[in-house]
Amino acid sequence: MKQLLAIHASGRVQRSVTRQLTQRFIDQWRSVHADGDVILRDVGQAPPPTVSEAWIAGAYSDASERDEAMREAIAVSDQLIDEVFAADVIVIGAPIYNFGMPAQLKAWVDQVVRINRTFEMNFEAENPYVSLVPSKPVVVLVSAGDIELHPGGVLAELNHMEPHLRTALSFIGLTDLHFVRTGNEEFKDERHRASVDAAYAEIADLAARLPAGA
Ligand SMILES: Cc1cc2nc3c(=O)[nH]c(=O)nc-3n(C[C@H](O)[C@H](O)[C@H](O)COP(=O)(O)O)c2cc1C
């Protein structure tokens, strides 16, 4: 049975473009994978905690050395990482907030990028960073207020979400990334509608063929 991990990161529940795109992906994926399992992780409504003294101490120590506070602090991280490992495909609904990812999505990234769980260090190697997550497709459904933030746009260099997500996810092994971009949500104009229509077509294609060979 295939598993889809779906992450909502919008702070909005009503009128959210990324929630609608993500729901469309879920529906279409379910129609192809009738016996598939969908795990919904809504960090928009229930953001993971930010990393703390106990979290960092726990993450950088062996399990046998952890006290109760450390174990408690990294329990959320363990759960979110388990979801990433269990998934065959991941979809992330990702609004652009202030030229980057929403704080709630960054909180999720900070929970899942963890030493000795999703990456490890080999100080002998030329490249000391070793990814520990097996490759799997990740679909990132983006909405921006201004469409020009997307690659090729006149404001593209101000888009820090896409390169940041690409770097952080690739760092742990998630290199098979598919960005689907909508824009001009602030303008609610023809360019916005066209970008959403194009995104729905891309979503239909991706939901039908990911994971490959399924
Ligand atoms: C707090 C906040 C910050 C935003 N910052 C930007 C921004 O820097 N650039 C931009 O183009 N749009 C920005 N927007 C617009 C959102 O990217 C746009 O409304 C998007 O559709 C939000 O995703 P959602 O519809 O899933 O909630 C911002 C919106 C909010 C609420």
pLDDT tens, residue by residue, 44-61: 999 999 999 999 999 999
pLDDT tens-digit profile of 79-126?
999 999 999 999 999 999 999 999 999 999 999 999 999 999 999 999
Q: What distance in angstroms lies between residue 183's CA and the mean position of ligand 1's atoms? A: 9
Residues enclosing ligand 1, CB less than 6 A? 10, 12, 16-19, 95-99, 143-146, 149, 185-186
Name the closest-CA residue to atom 22, ligand 1.
95
| Domain limits, the chain | 3-209
10 annotated as belonging to a binding site for a ligand: yes
* Spacing, Cα 104 to ligand 1 middle (Å): 13
> Is the CB of residue 138 less than 8 Å from the CB of residue 130?
no
Burial 98-121 (b: 16+ CB within 10 A, else e): eebbbebbbbbbbbbbbeebbbee
Alpha carbon distance 22, 31 (integer Å) = 14
Nearest atom, ligand 1, residue 11 CA: 27
- Residue 96's nearest CA partner among 23, 43, 150, 27 is 150
pLDDT digits (tens, 9 = 90+) for 135-188: 999 999 999 999 999 999 999 999 999 999 999 999 999 999 999 999 999 999
Please tell me the CATH code under which domain 3-209 is placed.
Answer: 3.40.50.360
For a mutational test of ligand 1's pocket, the pick from 15, 21, 96, 154, i.e. the residue with the most ligand atoms closer than 8 A to its C-beta, is: 96
- The angle at the Cα of 167, spanning 163 to 169, to the nearest 5 degrees, equals 120
- Ligand 1 atom closest to the Cα of residue 21 is 26
